[in-house]
Copies of this chain bind each other. A is one copy, B any other.
Amino acid sequence: MAILKTAPHTPTQNYLLAALPHDVFDSLAPHLELIALPLGNVLYESGCQLQHVYFPTTAILSLHYVMENGATAEIAGVGNEGVLGVSLLMGGNTTPSRAIVQTGGWGYRMPARLMMDEFNRAGSVMRLLLRYIQALMTQISQTAVCNRHHSVEQQLCRWLLLTLDRLPSHELTMTQELISTMLGVRREGITEAAGKLQRAGVISYRRGHIAVLDRAGLEQRTCECYGVVKTETLRLLGDARKLNI
């Protein structure tokens, strides 16, 4: 909680906003609104029209699919590397998935209309966002692959690493129950996998808080999916500023 109060927030904590050309950023900045994103908030319901796009800074959002029987599965996460609401830009307006806050924090939002107008100028903003969309597609694809072939423990490691990459610290506020709904597995399965990681000294946790003690250990235990997503995200977005797109 301390971090939420003490850290001064600027839009440039979001990677995409930071990567915008100065003139574009200056024109959009007045319309960026800093908002708190508390854990569990539903930002976007399946099939509903989105009014804003969201640029997380310290928060992490999660794109879910909720099945008819109530079971859930995470499709992708959105942290300060990205933006929530790309389906607006693609002309679909809605998606069949839901967006909720997975890690409480802050972010900026902007009226959807403004973002669409800027996108439709078909300039550097569009090119940047298209690269982000491709990174998002890679993440979704790898979720599909991982769901097919990898163990709960490997998936937990992947998920922890991806979450960690979007946070400033090595700790996350997160119950095992919540992780299980993200991964779409049993809570007990997470208890077991997390216990194994704890006994190995890779993480330590207590009632809703996880601290990563040995990041390399996580990387060793996860599947290739983490690396694919990470590498591809960096390739597509990592040097966007240098490319001056």
Top 6 A-B pairs, shortest CB-CB distance = A122-B122, A144-B144, A147-B147, A90-B134, A90-B130, A92-B134
Residues of B within 8 A of A136 (CB): 137
CA distance A97 to B145 in the complex (A): 11
Alpha-carbon distance between A228 and B148 when the two chains are bound, in angstroms:
19
Q: How far is the CA of A141 from the CA of B137 in the complex (A)?
A: 9
Interface residues in A195-239 by Cβ distance below 8 A to B read: 224, 228, 232, 235-236
- Please measure, in the bound complex, the distance between the C-alpha atom of A64 and the C-alpha atom of B224, giving whole angstroms: 15
Q: In whole angstroms, what is the CA distance A138 to B97 when docked?
A: 9
- CB pair B184–A224 under 8 Å, yes or no, is no
**How many residues on the A side are at the interface (Cβ–Cβ under 8 A)?**
42
**A131 and B90 contact, CB distance less than 8 A:** yes
Q: Which chain B residue has the least Cβ–Cβ distance from A95? A: B138
Chain B interface: which of A7-15, A65-73, A166-174?
A65-73
Q: Is A53 an interface residue (CB 8 A)?
A: no
Q: Which of A135-180 contact B (CB under 8 A)?
A: 136-138, 140-145, 147-149
Q: A91-B245, A127-B91, A232-B96 in contact; A137/B138 too (CB < 8 A)?
A: no
Give the distance to chain B from A232, nearest Cβ to Cβ, in Å. 6
Hey, which chain B residues are within 8 Å of A95, CB to CB? 134, 137-138, 232
